[in-house]
Amino acid sequence: MKNHERKDKEIVPVIDEENIVPYEKWIVSFSNSRKGTVRTSFREFFAQGFYEAYDIVMTYAEKQNVDIRWFKEKRNCGASFSNHVFIKLESCCTYCNKRFNHQEPIPCNHYKCQSTFCSRDCCNDHIWLLHNSK
């Protein structure tokens, strides 16, 4: 009798698809003043809405001791920003899997390799293990 009852029940999805907020790509502009010069930098990241983006940007600014100039969705920034690829706000090292926030992640210089690294040591180990063994 339980099998019959089970067949009559409607299958309900686990995720409420009507209330899902999609991830959007955001751009943030920071300013950092050192030794009398003001340096402006841009980063991009994904967030599900304004409040999540605000939280991510504020947390990063506090950790890195930088000032936030502005942040907004990349699709609303105009052609000069929309067609440009910026450094990610937080990157993950391909070799050691640590999150890092350096100004410039170190890319692999091997042909068609998209890996990025937190240090020169991780990059060298990656090249030695992956690219030199072939």
Q: Over the stretch 68-122, which tens digit does the pLDDT of each residue have?
A: 999 999 888 888 887 887 878 877 788 888 877 665 678 888 888 888 888 889 8
Are the C-beta atoms of 102 and 119 separated by less than 8 Å?
no
Domain limits, the chain: 15-89, 90-134
Q: Which residue has the higher pLDDT, 131 or 10?
A: 131
pLDDT of residue 110: 81
Q: Residue 84 has what DSSP assignment? A: -
CA distance 46 to 74: 10
| Neighbouring residues of 36: CB distance < 8 A, sequence distance ≥ 6 | none
CB-count burial class (<10 Å; 0-12, 13-18, 19+) for 118: buried
CATH topology of domain 15-89: Ubiquitin-like (UB roll) (3.10.20)
Are the C-beta atoms of 29 and 40 separated by less than 8 Å?
yes
pLDDT of residue 2: 58
Residue 41 main-chain phi, psi, to 5 deg:
-135, 155
pLDDT category at 61 given cuts 50, 70, 90 is: confident
Q: Over the stretch 34-43, which tens digit does the pLDDT of each residue have?
A: 767 778 888 8
